[in-house]
Amino acid sequence: MKAETESIVITTDRLTLRRVSLNDAEFIRELLNEPSFIQNIGDKKVRTLDEAHAYIESGPLASYEKFGFGLLVVEVNSVGRPAGICGLLKRDTLEDVDIGYAFLPGFWSKGYALESAEAVLSYAFESLRLNRILAITNPENQPSIRVLEKLGFHYLRMMQMGDEGRETKVFVRSRC
């Protein structure tokens, strides 16, 4: 894994993870409206390109500015287009930074979530010197839970998240 701290670009053998930009609005709109995203993560109510631009500005771009990290677009090198997002978030409702990821269905079951999350964790522990990372998921999202377990996360607790008060599983991993 290679990381360039100024632009937060991380590369692996198969993937390039880069900062989200306003040019990614169409992809972000597509991803956030996938039924699986809405079911497992939540409805961000991003239906238009203008709403996608606003989401990018208030989400990833604001996170880069405030914390120096955020969600990254994951591109599959052999395809040359965005496949998903993976990165670090700092939520007011959690005591530590958490990792998040989501991929378009055409990119599922290919190891991209695991590979990108491993790279982001390495960046978080080695470059950002974070000691503990959380992860949250819908309790019914078994594929995501399997990825977290492969990454070395352990179940911590259940908690209510979001405006709807959805029950969410919280996982934790500490720096080795």
Per-residue pLDDT tens digits of the chain, which is 176 residues long: 544 444 558 999 999 999 999 999 999 999 999 999 999 998 999 999 999 999 999 999 999 999 999 999 999 999 989 999 999 999 999 999 999 999 999 999 999 999 999 999 999 999 999 999 999 999 999 999 999 999 999 999 999 887 667 899 999 999 87
d(C-alpha 44, C-alpha 119), whole Å: 26
With contact defined as beta carbons under 8 Å apart, do 95 and 130 qualify? no
pTM assigned to the model: 0.92
